Amino acid sequence: MTELKGRDFLSILDLSAAEMEVVFDLARELKHKQKNGVAHPLCAGKTLAMIFQKPSTRTRVSFEVGMYQLGGQALYLNAADLQLGRGETVADTARVLSRFVDGIMIRTFKQSDVEELARFAAVPVINGLTDWEHPCQIMADLLTILEHKGRLAGLKLAYVGDGNNIAHSLLLGGTRMGMRVAVASPPGYAPNPELVDRAAAEAARSGGAVELTTDPAAAVRDADVVVTDTWASMGQEAEHEVRRVVFGPYQVNEALVRHARPDYIFMHCLPAHRGEEVVDAVMDGPNSVVWDEAENRLHVQKALLALLL
């Protein structure tokens, strides 16, 4: 577990396909040990600072519990505790925290803040979410697909909804692993073109593919995996009513998933707005693996912590 030691994880592309496989293998091993009561104190005596400028249930609990199960300790720091980038510069915060802790996880708005934190920190920095990417979530998603499908390369993943951080990281991570990634978004809400170009370059190397469309049915057709996310992300609450109208035709419902393969799996990073981006019949249906997906945040992040710290 030394190959990744001391590295940052700011983007899903910070890991090669082979390194992602290492993370998945360790995550499965740690998951098995946890469920069988086998201690695995791989981070004994280590401390993780968790910076939250955006609140979160799953990110906080999964990292905090993960560090505890690894024998270490997590320290929660919210925006009021730090005044990051306002009272104290990001660079100075990085320098100070590096003297106290063994790693830093940050959940914030700007990707540039995460990159600046990593540039000045002497310890590994993990991106817990930005407006640009959500790499830990997508590592959990890919692990979940592996568990249910046995492979990633050659599978078709359809994402229906806003071209947001989830769409970005799915495009990058999926194509790196040789998947066909189709994204259906309303006009004006597609993923960032620069990132789409990067995903297309990954697909050219891995044998995957990228497809952008405004037609949800076309994206979902013959999909092995169907994914969606909330229509209005944190910080976009003022746009919610407008987005409800714009994204109405992009709801993942029983009619839409009929275009997918019969054995498709449905995923959502949560929290879900039931009745908006997804209906109960899909969310709670036999093809849904959202609870496995949520649990795998814990296991994949434990693997990352054990490998990086």
Averaged pLDDT for residues 67-94 = 86
Burial class (CB in 10 A: 0-12, 13-18, 19+), 277: buried
* Beta strands per DSSP E along the chain: 47-52, 73-78, 103-107, 125-129, 156-160, 180-184, 209-213, 225-228, 265-268
Encode pLDDT of 275-309 as tens digits.
999 999 999 999 999 999 999 999 999 999 999 99
**102 is a catalytic site residue:** no
Q: What CATH number does the domain located at 137-293 have?
A: 3.40.50.1370
Give the number of other CB atoms < 10 A from CB of residue 257: 23
State pTM to two decimals.
Answer: 0.96
Predicted pLDDT of residue 2? 54
Question: For a pLDDT cut of 70, what percent of the chain falls above it?
Answer: 97
Q: Which residue has the higher pLDDT, 233 or 289?
A: 289
Choosing from 136, 269, 299, 301, the catalytic residue is: 269
Per annotation, catalytic residue among 58, 60, 134, 198: 134
- Tell me whether residue 111 is one of the annotated catalytic residues: no
Say what the pLDDT of residue 232 is: 82
- The per-residue pLDDT for 64 is 98
Phi, psi at residue 192, to the nearest 5°? -60, 130
Q: Where are the domains of the chain?
A: 12-134+296-308, 137-293
> Is 297 a known active-site residue?
yes
Among 176, 268, 297, 299, which one carries the catalytic annotation? 297
Catalytic residue among 53, 69, 137, 301: 137
User: Does 33 have pLDDT greater than 70?
Assistant: yes
Q: What fold does the segment set 12-134+296-308 form as a domain?
A: Rossmann fold (3.40.50)
Torsion of CA 236, 128, 19, 27, to 10 degrees: -110
| For residue 234, pLDDT beyond 70 | no
pLDDT of residue 84: 65
Q: Is the pLDDT of residue 32 over 90?
A: yes
Active-site residue, from 107, 176, 243, 268: 107
User: Quick one: CA torsion of 257, 201, 165, 291, rounded to 10 degrees?
Assistant: 50
What band does 238 get if pLDDT is binned at 50, 70 and 90?
confident
pLDDT at 55: 83
* Catalytic status, residue 107: yes
For the segment 197-218, what is each residue's pLDDT rounded down to a tens digit?
999 999 999 999 999 999 999 9
DSSP for 246-292, written as a single string = HTGGG-B-HHHHTTS-TT-EEEE-S---BTTTB-HHHHTSTTB-HHH
pLDDT in tens, 138-192: 999 999 999 999 999 999 999 999 999 999 999 999 999 999 999 999 999 999 9
Active-site hit among 69, 229, 268, 301: 229
Q: What pLDDT band is residue 239 in, cutting at 50, 70 and 90?
A: confident
How high is the pLDDT of residue 17?
A: 97
CA distance 291 to 75: 26
| Local confidence band at 5 (pLDDT 50, 70, 90 cut-offs) | very high
Please state, rounded to an integer, the average pLDDT across all residues of the chain.
95
